[in-house]
Structures are given as C-alpha cells and as structure tokens.
Structure 1
Amino acid sequence: MNAVGSVVLSLDAELGWGFHDLEDPPENRVESGRRGWSVMVDLLDEFDVPATWAVVGHLMLTDCDGRHADHPAPPGWFRRERGSWADREELRFGPDLVTDVLEADTDHEFASHSFSHVLFGDERTDRELASAELRRATEIADDWGQTVDSFIYPRNDVAHREVLAEYGVSAYRGKSPTRDGVRGVFDSTVRDQSMLVQPELDEYGLVNVPASQFLFGFEGPARTVAESIWTDPMLEVARRGIDEAARSDGVFHMWLHPNNLTSERDDRRMRAILAHLERRRSAGDLTVETMGEVAERVHRSRGIGAGGTDERAAAGTN
C-alpha cells in the first residue's frame, strides 16, 4: 500500500474519565494522568514523533454542573463527577493539557475519545447515546477550532460505526489481531508472529487502523522478573515491530494511555521506544504517520477524496 513501512502511535487521553465508572479505580493510574500526559508531550517533542491524541471531550471544558441533564446517559453515569470527584477538577478538566498538545512543536493529530468515555459496545449504549457522545465531542472540538477525523473507542469497544461516519469521522482504531501481555510477547519473540497490520476501508467508508501493540500490557511482578533476566519485554516487542515495519510496507500501530506512565521506569520505556523509532526513521526506511494520515492514504488509493467523495466517479472515470 505504501513504498515503505510506517509506524503509528496513538494515545487515549482521558484523565479521570477512563475510570469514573469503575467501582474501585486504580489509584496510581488515576493520579498519574497529568504527569504522564506532560511527559509524553515532552518526549514526543524531543524525538519529533507526531501522534494521534484521542481526547475525552469533557476534558476540554472549564466547568460544568456535573449532571449533564440533556445527555441521554444511563442513570448514575456522572455520579462520581458530582460525588467523590466533585472537588477533583484536575481529574475532570484538562484544557491546559489539551492546549499543550495543540501548541506542541510536533504536529500531532487531535482526535476524539468520545465525550465522557461511554462504552459504545455496552448493551445500554444505543444509537441515541452514541450519537450524543459524538455530537458533544465534535461541538466542543469545533469550539476549539478542531475537527474530529479519527476516533478511538473507549476501552477499544468497537460499535456504532455508522454514527462515526454520520459525524464525519474518517478513521478509527480497530481491535488488534495480535494478543497483548505475556501471550503477545511469546507470540512475537518465540513464535516470530508479525505485529504489522493492514488498514482497511469498511462498509461505512471508515478506515480501520487496527492496533498492533498496547505498550503497557506486561506489568507488575512479571515485568520485574523479565527485566532482571532478560530485558523490558514491551520494549523488545516494540523494537521488533518497528524493525519489521522498516523492512516491509505494513503498519506497526502502538498505543498507550498517558496514565500508564506512573514512574520514571515507565518514562524510560517510552524514551527507549521513541529513540529506536527515530533511529530507524533517520535511516530513511520508515515513516511515522498519524491515524488521520493513514486514512487519507487509504482513501487516496481508492480514489476517495475529502468528505468521502469518489473522485474517480466525479471525474467520469472508472
């Protein structure tokens, strides 16, 4: 599809919204959202790596009543916002952090992670709710002078793709064909399974850019043991994926949450991955793309222009 391989990096930028529906949110992740966000902005600038930042729309607000009475969410959906997190504005709002992404030296892609992290595949999420999430997210993005060309589903729960198309979205991150965690490391390093993916145009005109690797899927004691006798397993898999992309014409799509960076140990992982990516890109046999750029490339290869128009049909050609 392209002359050389490419690497895509996407981030689920959500602060507290990634956990607000959980009975017992992981405190270290909740409290690391802002820290990790700032570290990633700095690292991506340092290595000049553009990424797709999928932002929960509510973070772009400066205040709200915590109730959202006009939103068709299930009963209790915003309970934590107006309850235990009512005085935790730093978990609910992040316009300063969004501004950091938009004003970064690196040209990142602004994308959507919904308005309030509703799970699109949940049985309670009907078309009305999915549409409300997209409508509010795109309205807020427009207030900021941004468009929503790419969408990342909360918890990768893919559903209601037709709603994405209705709101002008071009691409989404699809489910990974490879396994995460220990099994993924085994598949890549022992079975030598490919980590590359091929973006595909679906029946709604959306480009599915599947995930290849979640960069924080091998943590805790298992990670400590692996590092003591071998190396950081996620770093090894990421290097293998980047190298494979450099040798082929596929896409290696890495992803993470900023809140995965809970310590300097995690920062070192990301620095090492980005440094390796920069070395391979500098060699001239690899490109770095955003999800939106992948979608543009796929649409162009199919003769589809901006807005989903068929350029070949418009020109009267087959």
Structure 2
Amino acid sequence: MGTVVISLDAELGWGFHDLESPPQHRVESGRSGWQAMLDSLAEYDIPATWAVVGHLMLESCDGEHADHPAPAGWFERERTAWRDRPDLRFGRDLVEGILEAEPDHEFASHSFSHVLFDDPATSRSLADAEIARSVEIAAEWGQTVDSFIYPRNAVGHRDVLAEHGITAYRGRSPTADGARGVVDSVLTDRSMLVEPSIDEYGLVNIPASLFCFGFEGSARTIAESVWADPMVVVARRGIDQAAHGDGVFHMWLHPNNLTHERDDRRMRAILEYVDRRRRETDLTVETMGDIASRFRESAPIAQPSPAAYSQSGP
C-alpha cells in the first residue's frame, strides 16, 4: 500500500526578501495561491503538510529584530521597500485558515525568516535561533512542530532540528529537478516513489518526488497547446505508482507558484486524481508527520555519536 504526500512552502514575501530583484508576479500571488490551495484541498478532503515561515505568525514587529543573530541587512527589505506591505510580511489570517481547515492539515516549520541552512554564512547559532523562534511562535498558537521544510531545500544543521524536537524533514529529490526531470519521467518508466529513512540524528528524511511547477514558461505553453499539462501527466504517473506500490509519492509546491488560473487548474486536476485513485484503490494520503510517526515505530533509529552533535552536518 503506497501513500501520497503533499507539502507546501508557505512563505509570502519571505521567500524572496533576500533577492535583489524578486519575481513580482510570484510575490503578489502568495496570498491568492495560499487561499486557492486551501480551498482545493478542502474540496477533495486531502490533508497536506503546510510549512510556515514563523514571522508570518507575528502580529507586528519593528523590522529590526535586534535579538536575532542574522547577518547585517538581512531584514532590510522589511524595513524599506516592504515597510508598507504588511500583506507580504504577516499572514496570521492565512495561518488561521490552515489551523481551522477541514481536513486536518499538518502545521510544520519553514524557519523563522527563510534563512538558507546550507549557506556558509549561516552559523549554528543562527540556525538555532531560526528554529527556536519558529517553534516558540508555534507554541504560542498552541501548535507543536514535528516536520521541517528547508528554505530552498538547502539541507543543513540537521542536529539543530533534532535538538528542538523536530522529527522529520523533506530531503532533496533523488532525481533531476525542473524540465529535465519532467522529461525523464515522461520518457522513462522509472519509479517516482521514495523511501523514508532515519538519519544519524533520529530524523526521518522524507525525500521529495516531484516539484509541481518544474515545467514552466514557453515549454509549458507549447506542451499544453499540442498535448496536455506535462506536470499533470507526470503527477498522475506517480500517483498510480503509489496506488499499486509500497512507497511514497511526495509532491511539493509553493502557494506563490499559483500565479494564473491555469496553475489553479493544474493543482485541481492533480488533487482530483489523488481523490479518485484513493477511492478506487488502497492508496492513502498522509502528512509528513504521519509518515514520520509510522516510520519511527517500525524502523530502528541510528544512535548518533558524540561527534555527530559536535558539528553540524549537511
């Protein structure tokens, strides 16, 4: 019996605040895409793992964050260009939508301010502050954090996650990302299923199978004009493999990927197919937390050596 997992990187402006020229169409689509995904998941009764940037849960801030060990200038855009854009910096209403939704979504962390954990400039103290602050804010909302999604999938400082009680993270996809990976999936019969594993810190790594927006631009437009949305085709293949196999098909996206009506149609088509195959077969839909809990019960956890905790591994 296989399972489908959907995880979302919920970040609004924080996913782009460190970029010199943020993609404006995506920056402005964060809120509408977030609500569209909540609505579609509710329609098909599909739970998902929502990894939220902790800053979005604040009611307000001075933009300084003097007690946070971030590099100089890290919060500059919040204080300048986006000073009058609370809709990009805060999202308490959207987070409430996750917590109040049916089905029962998993609340997860996407760090406090979208720091890149594999950057040499990200010290262990900064990683610790990012995790500690996000866990603290979640607790203020009555939420515990079991799962973590690394900003831009930049895996690092896994020991810090474990020390703060996090049990799972989304690992890198074992296959190529982007258009190349999509084409490979269409032309070959390779399995898109992944197997969770437990690392030396006791964390369950649940690798990604498919980024739902890995085939965009002119190539997508041409493909849709003569054939069909290639991402829907590939997603259906992975869903079918999970329906008849024993692995995990793990799809992921950002709400801000939904910038156009055709993006909404893509995700609705994928979710509709998940729901259909779930009713026709033994396919299950789980969150990252569900899988981690089940996997930790059945698999032995490797005991980290003292050296493993003395330094941060990638």
Using structure 1 for the length normalisation, give the TM-score.
Answer: 0.94
3-state secondary structure, aligned to 2:71 = coil
Distance 2:252 2:269 in 1: 15
Aligned to 1:138: 135
Aligned to 1:282: 279
Aligned to 2:230: 233
3-state secondary structure, aligned to 1:76 = coil
Aligned to 1:156: 153
Greater CA deviation, 84-93 or 295-304? 295-304
Q: How many residues align?
A: 301
Q: Select which of 74, 84, 88 maps to 1:91.
A: 88
Aligned to 2:114: 117
Quick one: which amino acid aligns to residue 95 of structure 2? V
3-state secondary structure, aligned to 1:146 = coil
3-state secondary structure, aligned to 2:264 = helix
Quote the sequence identity (%).
71
Greater CA deviation, 178-187 or 142-151? 178-187
Using structure 2 for the length normalisation, give the TM-score.
Answer: 0.95
Give, in angstroms, the shift of residue 284 of structure 1: 3.1
Cα deviations across residues 240-296 of structure 1 (Å, max 9, x unaligned)? 000011110000000000000011100000000000000000113200010000000
For the pair 1:205 / 2:202, whether they are aligned, the reply is yes
Give, in angstroms, the shift of residue 14 of structure 1: 0.1
Structure 2 counterparts to residues 186-225 of structure 1, below 5 A: 186-225=183-222
Cα deviations across residues 66-92 of structure 1 (Å, max 9, x unaligned)? 010000000100000001000000000
Quick one: which amino acid aligns to residue 212 of structure 2? L
**Could you tell me whether the CA contact under 8 Å between 2:182 and 2:214 is conserved in 1?**
no
Distance 1:235 1:222 in 2: 14
Distance 1:36 1:185 in 2: 23
| Structure 1 ranges of 4+ moved more than 3 A | none
Q: Select which of 73, 78, 83 maps to 1:76.
A: 73
For the pair 1:102 / 2:99, whether they are aligned, the reply is yes
Greater CA deviation, 165-174 or 180-189? 180-189
Distance 2:228 2:177 in 1: 17
Aligned to 1:173: 170
Q: Select which of 22, 25, 28 maps to 1:25.
A: 22
Cα deviations across residues 153-198 of structure 1 (Å, max 9, x unaligned)? 0000000000000000010000000112221122111122211100
Q: Select which of 258, 263, 279 maps to 1:261.
A: 258
For the pair 1:43 / 2:40, whether they are aligned, the reply is yes
Stretches of structure 1 lacking an aligned partner (at least 5 in a row): 305-318
Aligned to 1:314: none
Distance 1:17 1:192 in 2: 37
Cα deviations across residues 109-162 of structure 1 (Å, max 9, x unaligned)? 000000000000001001000000001000100000000100000000000000
Distance 2:110 2:178 in 1: 23
Distance 2:220 2:228 in 1: 9
Give, in angstroms, the shift of residue 104 of structure 1: 0.5
Stretches of structure 2 lacking an aligned partner (at least 5 in a row): 302-314
RMSD: 0.8
Quick one: which amino acid aligns to residue 75 of structure 1? A
Give, in angstroms, the shift of residue 303 of structure 1: 6.2
3-state secondary structure, aligned to 1:236 = helix
Quick one: which amino acid aligns to residue 114 of structure 1? S
3-state secondary structure, aligned to 1:159 = coil
3-state secondary structure, aligned to 1:111 = strand
